[in-house]
Amino acid sequence: EKNFFLIAGPCVVESEALLEEVAEKVYGICKRLGIPYVFKASYRKANRTSASSFTGLGDGTGLHLLKKIKDKYSLPVTSDIHAHEEAAIAAEYIDILQIPAFLCRQTDLLIAAAETGKIVNVKKGQFLSGPSMKFAVEKIKNAGNEKVMLTERGNTFGYQDLVVDYRNITWMKEHGTPVIMDCTHSLQQPNQTSGVTGGNPGLIGTIAKAAIATGADGLFIETHPNPAAAKSDGANMLRLDLLEGLLEQLVKLRKAVV
Amino acid sequence: EKNFFLIAGPCVVESEALLEEVAEKVYGICKRLGIPYVFKASYRKANRTSASSFTGLGDGTGLHLLKKIKDKYSLPVTSDIHAHEEAAIAAEYIDILQIPAFLCRQTDLLIAAAETGKIVNVKKGQFLSGPSMKFAVEKIKNAGNEKVMLTERGNTFGYQDLVVDYRNITWMKEHGTPVIMDCTHSLQQPNQTSGVTGGNPGLIGTIAKAAIATGADGLFIETHPNPAAAKSDGANMLRLDLLEGLLEQLVKLRKAVV
Amino acid sequence: EKNFFLIAGPCVVESEALLEEVAEKVYGICKRLGIPYVFKASYRKANRTSASSFTGLGDGTGLHLLKKIKDKYSLPVTSDIHAHEEAAIAAEYIDILQIPAFLCRQTDLLIAAAETGKIVNVKKGQFLSGPSMKFAVEKIKNAGNEKVMLTERGNTFGYQDLVVDYRNITWMKEHGTPVIMDCTHSLQQPNQTSGVTGGNPGLIGTIAKAAIATGADGLFIETHPNPAAAKSDGANMLRLDLLEGLLEQLVKLRKAVV
Amino acid sequence: EKNFFLIAGPCVVESEALLEEVAEKVYGICKRLGIPYVFKASYRKANRTSASSFTGLGDGTGLHLLKKIKDKYSLPVTSDIHAHEEAAIAAEYIDILQIPAFLCRQTDLLIAAAETGKIVNVKKGQFLSGPSMKFAVEKIKNAGNEKVMLTERGNTFGYQDLVVDYRNITWMKEHGTPVIMDCTHSLQQPNQTSGVTGGNPGLIGTIAKAAIATGADGLFIETHPNPAAAKSDGANMLRLDLLEGLLEQLVKLRKAVV
d(CA A6, CA A77): 11
Query: For D97, which DSSP code?
Result: E
- Determine the straight-line distance between the first and last CA of chain D, rounded to whole angstroms: 6
Q: Are the Cβ atoms of A253 and C255 closer than 8 angstroms?
A: no
Q: What's the half-sphere exposure (Cβ side, CA atoms, 13 Å) at C46?
A: 22
Of A8, A25, A13, residue with least CA distance to A65 = A13
Above 80 in pLDDT, residue C117? Answer: yes
* CA-derived radius of gyration, chain B: 17
Q: What is the pLDDT of residue B44?
A: 85
Sequence-distant (≥ 6) Cβ neighbours of residue A74 within 8 angstroms? none
High-pLDDT (> 70) share of chain B, %? 100
Within 8 A of A166 by CB-CB distance, chain C residues are: 164, 166, 206-207, 210
Q: What is the pLDDT of residue B232?
A: 82
d(CA C154, CA C177): 18
Q: What is the pLDDT of residue A1?
A: 60
Give the residue numbers in A contacting D (CB under 8 Å), as ranges: 157-161
Window from A118-127, B241-250, C159-168, D195-204 with minimum mean pLDDT: D195-204
pLDDT tens digits for range A216-231: 999 999 999 999 999 8
Above 80 in pLDDT, residue B51? Answer: no
d(CA D123, CA D160): 20
Consecutive H or E run containing C167: helix C167-173
Q: Report phi then psi at D239, rounded to 5.
A: -65, 130
Q: What is the pLDDT of residue C51?
A: 72
Sequence-distant (≥ 6) Cβ neighbours of residue A215 within 8 angstroms? A169, A170, A173, A179, A257
Q: What is the pLDDT of residue B42?
A: 93
CA angle C241, C246, C251 (to 5 degrees): 135
Q: Taking the model in full, what pTM does it have? A: 0.96
Place C11 in a pLDDT band, splitting at 50, 70 and 90: very high
pLDDT tens digits for range D148-171: 999 999 999 999 999 999 999 999
Separation in Å, CA B120 to CA A14, A82, D86 = 32, 21, 59
Q: Report phi then psi at D38, rounded to 5.
A: -115, 125
pLDDT tens digits for range D107-153: 999 999 999 999 999 999 999 999 999 999 999 999 999 999 999 99
User: Max Cα separation, chain B?
Assistant: 47
Above 70 in pLDDT, residue C1? Answer: no
- Determine the straight-line distance between the first and last CA of chain A, rounded to whole angstroms: 6
d(CA D52, CA D199): 20
Q: C200: buried, middle or exposed (CB in 10 Å: 19+, 13-18, 0-12)?
A: middle
Q: What is the pLDDT of residue B1?
A: 60
High-pLDDT (> 90) share of chain D, %? 85
d(CA B223, CA A123): 33
ipTM attached to this prediction: 0.95
Place D31 in a pLDDT band, splitting at 50, 70 and 90: very high
User: Max Cα separation, chain A?
Assistant: 47
Mean pLDDT across chain B: 94
% helix, strand, coil for chain D, step of 5: 40, 20, 40
What is the signed CA dihedral for A196, A202, A207, A208, rounded to 10 degrees?
Answer: 110
Chains contacting chain B through 3 or more C-beta pairs under 8 A: A, C, D
CA C2 to chain centroid, in Å, comes to: 21
Above 80 in pLDDT, residue B46? Answer: no
Above 90 in pLDDT, residue B58? Answer: no
High-pLDDT (> 90) share of chain C, %? 86
Above 90 in pLDDT, residue A13? Answer: yes
Q: What is the pLDDT of residue A89?
A: 94
Place C47 in a pLDDT band, splitting at 50, 70 and 90: confident
The mean per-residue pLDDT over the stretch B122-150 comes to 98
Q: What is the pLDDT of residue C102?
A: 97
Q: Where are the beta strands (DSSP E) in chain D?
A: 5-9, 37-40, 77-80, 96-99, 119-123, 148-152, 155-156, 162-163, 179-182, 218-224, 238-239
Length of chain C: 258
| Preferred mutation among C47, C81, C99 to probe D, highest tally of D CBs within 10 A | C47
User: Max Cα separation, chain D?
Assistant: 47
Q: Are the Cβ atoms of D102 and C107 closer than 8 angstroms?
A: no
Separation in Å, CA D251 to CA B25, B253, D1, D6 = 34, 12, 11, 11
Above 90 in pLDDT, residue C240? Answer: yes
pLDDT tens digits for range A125-172: 999 999 999 999 999 999 999 999 999 999 999 999 999 999 999 999
Within 8 A of C209 by CB-CB distance, chain A residues are: 210, 213-214, 257
Q: D19: buried, middle or exposed (CB in 10 Å: 19+, 13-18, 0-12)?
A: buried
User: Max Cα separation, chain C?
Assistant: 47
Consecutive H or E run containing D252: helix D243-257
Place D22 in a pLDDT band, splitting at 50, 70 and 90: very high
Above 90 in pLDDT, residue C93? Answer: yes
pLDDT tens digits for range A60-92: 899 999 999 999 999 999 999 999 999 999 999
Q: Are the Cβ atoms of A135 and B47 closer than 8 angstroms?
A: no
Q: How many other C-beta atoms can be found within 10 angstroms of the C-beta atom of residue A241?
A: 10
pLDDT tens digits for range A110-123: 999 999 999 999 99
How far is C187 from chain B, CA to nearest CA, in Å?
Answer: 14
State how beta strands D162-163 and D155-156 pair: antiparallel
How far is A243 from chain D, CA to nearest CA, in Å?
Answer: 30
d(CA D136, CA D111): 10
d(CA B17, CA B225): 11
Q: Is C153 helix (H, G, I), strand (E, B) or coil?
A: coil
Where does residue C176 fall: left (phi above 0), alpha (psi -120 to 50 degrees), or beta otherwise? left
The mean per-residue pLDDT over the stretch B38-48 comes to 87
Place C38 in a pLDDT band, splitting at 50, 70 and 90: very high
Within 8 A of A50 by CB-CB distance, chain B residues are: 135, 138
Q: Report phi then psi at D31, rounded to 5.
A: -60, -45
Q: Report phi then psi at B98, rounded to 5.
A: -100, 130
Query: What amino acid is encoded at A65 in this protein?
Result: L
Residue C189: closest C-alpha in chain B: B158
Above 90 in pLDDT, residue C197? Answer: no
Per DSSP, the residues of chain A read -PPPEEEEE-SB---HHHHHHHHHHHHHHHHHHT--EEEE-BS-----SSTTS---S-HHHHHHHHHHHHHHHT--EEEE--SHHHHHHHHTT-SEEEEPGGGTT-HHHHHHHHHT-SEEEEEPPTT--TGGGHHHHHHHHHTT---EEEEE--EE-SSS-EE--THHHHHHHTTTS-EEEETTGGG-B---TTSS-B--GGGHHHHHHHHHHTT-SEEEEEEES-GGG-SS-TTTPEEGGGHHHHHHHHHHHHHHH-
Length of chain B: 258
Within 8 A of B155 by CB-CB distance, chain D residues are: 163
Q: Are the Cβ atoms of A160 and D157 closer than 8 angstroms?
A: no
d(CA A136, CA A101): 11
Alpha helix ranges (H) inside C34-98 = 59-73, 84-91
Q: What is the pLDDT of residue A54?
A: 75
Within 8 A of B55 by CB-CB distance, chain A residues are: 107
Q: What is the pLDDT of residue B74?
A: 97
Q: What is the pLDDT of residue C232?
A: 82
Q: What is the pLDDT of residue C181?
A: 98
Q: Is C12 helix (H, G, I), strand (E, B) or coil?
A: strand
Q: Is C223 helix (H, G, I), strand (E, B) or coil?
A: strand
Q: What is the pLDDT of residue D35?
A: 98
d(CA D185, CA D180): 12
| Preferred mutation among D111, D133, D156, D168 to probe C, highest tally of C CBs within 10 A | D156
Where does residue A158 fall: left (phi above 0), alpha (psi -120 to 50 degrees), or beta otherwise? left
d(CA A183, CA B207): 37
Alpha helix ranges (H) inside chain B = 16-33, 59-73, 84-91, 107-115, 134-142, 167-173, 204-213, 243-257
Q: What is the pLDDT of residue C57?
A: 80
What is the signed CA dihedral for B39, B44, B47, B53, rounded to 10 degrees?
Answer: 110
Q: What is the pLDDT of residue D51?
A: 72
d(CA C221, CA B248): 56
Within 8 A of C82 by CB-CB distance, chain D residues are: 106, 108
Q: What is the pLDDT of residue C199?
A: 74
Of C106, C182, C92, residue with least CA distance to C140 = C106
| Burial track C222-250 (b if 16+ CB lie within 10 A, e otherwise) | bbbeebeebbbbbbbbbebeebeebbebb
Q: What is the pLDDT of residue C206?
A: 97
Consecutive H or E run containing B6: strand B5-9
Give the one of D49, D132, D191 whose C-beta lies nearest to C191's C-beta. D132
Above 80 in pLDDT, residue B95? Answer: yes
Q: What is the pLDDT of residue A174?
A: 97
Above 70 in pLDDT, residue B241? Answer: yes
β-strand partners of B163: B155
Above 80 in pLDDT, residue D48? Answer: no
